[in-house]
Amino acid sequence: MTTIRSARTTDADEVARLYDICVRTGAAGGDATDLYANPRLLPEVYLGAYLALEPGLAFVLADDDDRPVGYVVGTTDTRAFAERCEREWWPALREQHPLGSAEQGTPDAKLVELIHTPGLMPDAVVDRFPAHLHVDLLPEGQGGGNGRRMLETLFDALRARGVSGLHLGVDTTNTRAVGFYEHLGFRPALPDSDWLYGIDL
Ligand SMILES: CC(C)(COP(=O)(O)OP(=O)(O)OC[C@H]1O[C@@H](n2cnc3c(N)ncnc32)[C@H](O)[C@@H]1OP(=O)(O)O)[C@@H](O)C(=O)NCCC(=O)NCCS
């Protein structure tokens, strides 16, 4: 039996658990533990800022012992979030991980580059779908409608804040996630993109 609740974003143990979930689902939906020398890099890039800057939009799927087995995080306004990250999230990480600090050509090095040059979404995507999300469930949390319930929880929170559209990016090799998003009604956010999806809320 699982339940959905707000993430305890100031609880260090819970944040560590969520960071771990990010790594264990970070290889196109599978375990990325062996891909990265530094296990904090992936969650620092794809999870930490949401927990720190958008705590009201962070939800976890918790097991019988109230331990998170998945999360969904997001932001209402992708542009404003990127600006806040420039001020409040990236500077400390840039100091901690200077360009060139990870072995060249490794997945770690790609994440260090992203810390220094985060990608920006095209205007056409953000104008129509201003919000975005990340969802990751451990294998024991997947299926039975848990992913759908997690997204609906976030959608409800976004609608309550007046948001009308949301986008997300997906690794095209993650066929399970692509099928899931399409089943839920997501469609390509740009005519020529196979990895950016959008949905009207
Ligand atoms: C992707 C993920 C969030 C989906 O959640 P889930 O719990 O496995 O999926 P659900 O059980 O909620 O599925 C909801 C619906 O989608 C359908 N569905 C799920 N996967 C599908 C697929 N690959 N193709 C078509 N339909 C699919 C289900 O049949 C279900 O249909 P219904 O509600 O109409 O009965 C989850 O598997 C996951 O976290 N995977 C690992 C991490 C990951 O890949 N994250 C996404 C990164 S972009």
Predicted pLDDT at 143: 98
The per-residue b/e assignment along 105-121, b for 16 or more CB within 10 angstroms, e otherwise, is eebbbebbebbeeeeeb
Q: Can you give the pLDDT at residue 127?
A: 97
Q: What are phi and psi of 135, to 5 degrees?
A: -130, 135
* 154-182 mean pLDDT: 98
Q: Which two tokens stand for residue 41?
A: 């890099």
Tell me, in angstroms, the distance from the centre of ligand 1 to residue 144's CA.
Answer: 9
Range 3-200 has CATH code 3.40.50.10860: no
What share of the chain has pLDDT > 90, as a percent? 99
Residue 26 CB contacts under 8 Å (≥ 6 apart), including other chains: 32, 35, 42, 46, 136
Question: Which residues approach ligand 1 with their CB closer than 6 A?
Answer: 25, 29, 135-137, 142-148, 170, 174, 176-177, 179-180, 183
For the chain, give the longest Cα–Cα distance: 45
The set of long-range contacts for 115-120, using a CB threshold of 8 Å and a minimum separation of 24, is 115/44, 115/45, 115/90, 116/90, 118/82, 118/85, 118/90, 120/82
Annotated domain spans of the chain? 3-200
Q: What pairing do the DSSP bridges indicate for beta strands 187-188 and 165-169? A: unpaired
CA of 182 to the centre of ligand 1 (A): 10
What sign results for the dihedral spanned by CA atoms 12, 157, 161, 127?
A: positive
pLDDT in tens, 86-112: 999 999 999 999 999 999 999 999 999
Residue 71 CA to ligand 1 center (angstroms) comes to: 14
* pLDDT attached to residue 196: 98
How does DSSP assign 46-71, residue by residue?
HTHHHHHH-GGG-EEEE-TTS-EEEE
**Ligand 1, pocket-test mutation among 63, 154, 183, 196, most atoms within 8 A of CB:** 183
In the chain, % of residues over pLDDT 70 = 100
Q: How far apart are CA 24 and CA 138, in angstroms?
A: 7
Mean pLDDT across the stretch 27-39? 98
Dist. CA 64 → ligand 1 center (Å): 21
37, 106 Cβ separation under 8 angstroms: yes
Question: pLDDT-derived band of residue 140, with 50, 70 and 90 as boundaries?
Answer: very high
State which of 2, 149, 153, 176 you would mutate to test the pocket of ligand 1, scoring each by most atoms of that ligand within 8 A of its C-beta.
176
End-to-end alpha carbon distance in the chain: 28
**Average pLDDT of every residue of the chain:** 98
Ligand 1 center to 72 CA (angstroms): 13
Instruction: Return d(Cα 56, Cα 74) in angstroms, integer.
Output: 9
In 3D space, the residue among 37, 56, 44 whose CA is nearest the CA of residue 19 turns out to be 44
